[in-house]
Amino acid sequence: MPLDPQIQLLVDNLPNGIALPIGDPVDARNLFRKLTVALRDQQAPANLAAIEDTTVPGATADQLARIYRPHADEPSATMLFFHGGGWVVGDLESYDLTARTIAERTGMTVLSVEYRLAPEHKFPAGVEDALAIADWVLANAGSLGGDASRTIVSGDSAGGNFAAIVAQETAGREVGFSGQALLYPVLDLANDYPSRSAHADGPVLTSEVSRWFGELYLDENDDLFAPRISPMHSDRVAQVVPAVVATAGFDILRDEGIEYARRLGDAGVSTTHLHYETLPHGFFGFGPLSAAADAAITEVCTAIQTLDRA
């Protein structure tokens, strides 16, 4: 099936398509933020009760965070959300539209968080922040305004990598997460998959950009099979909480997402796998520009709501 025509129109009419250019990480962050914030600012104000900036404790220092509170008469489920960006780009502002959309459409209290980025802070800094933040959320979800007994961990792309790792490392705890939502996640840096060559040119995440991210995030001697790098290879897959896994047809990460959803299901984990053949990586960011992406976002958010009832 072809790429969604509304997204194809963007690809055809932008000078460099819609892939992130490689080069200086700071320049890449600034460009990514500029584009995403410009799109956010064209939208109607968020339909939420409140949006509040705060901080949460990371592994070595406090990290910036933002709470999105829905209109609700009683405490909602709480979602911890890790942004994507290949462990190199992305921040609260870049993912503000995504986080507020999830809060609006799920009715959950969403805590969007930052973490240390590469190359200034290479692996394992970011994942250590993610795990420290997850521990804090599990201990303090009630103070965020949500229901402390109903907590979801989520993330997209590299943030989905962190969410999968958090779900594995907190599995079986007396006080743990009740569900996980992985949006076109990075799950296996150790193996190649057909989608990595089939969609090497993007349109959003290219193989060149993916390699650049990996080179900035990891050292040469890092073990790509280590579960904190490639959660596909964890021996705790069967122990994790119920999952929603969303994958996109035009995505180099497509096949590893499909494989992880299959492994979860085969291991007996309640898993909803939603696949969108005509959409690219990062389709949550295209909701205002594509009817197909917007419909997919609504469907994924509806599935995430079922995690609160699992």
Question: 72 exposed, middle or buried (CB, 10 Å; 0-12, 13-18, 19+)?
Answer: middle
Cα-based distances in Å from 299 to 23, 122, 244: 36, 35, 11
Say whether 199 is catalytic: no
Strand partners, 52: 67
3-state secondary structure of 115: coil
Catalytic residue among 251, 255, 273, 290: 251
Say whether 233 is catalytic: no
Kindly give, in sequence order, each residue whose CB lies less than 8 Å from that of residue 25, ignoring residues fewer than 6 positions away: 88, 89, 117, 118, 119, 216
Catalytic residue among 112, 154, 157, 195: 157
Per the CB < 8 A criterion, the answer to whether 154 and 183 are in contact is yes
Structure tokens at 258: 């499909």
Catalytic residue among 255, 281, 290, 308: 281
Could you give the CA distance from residue 227 to residue 127 in angstroms, rounded to a whole number?
11
Say whether 251 is catalytic: yes
Catalytic residues: 157, 251, 281
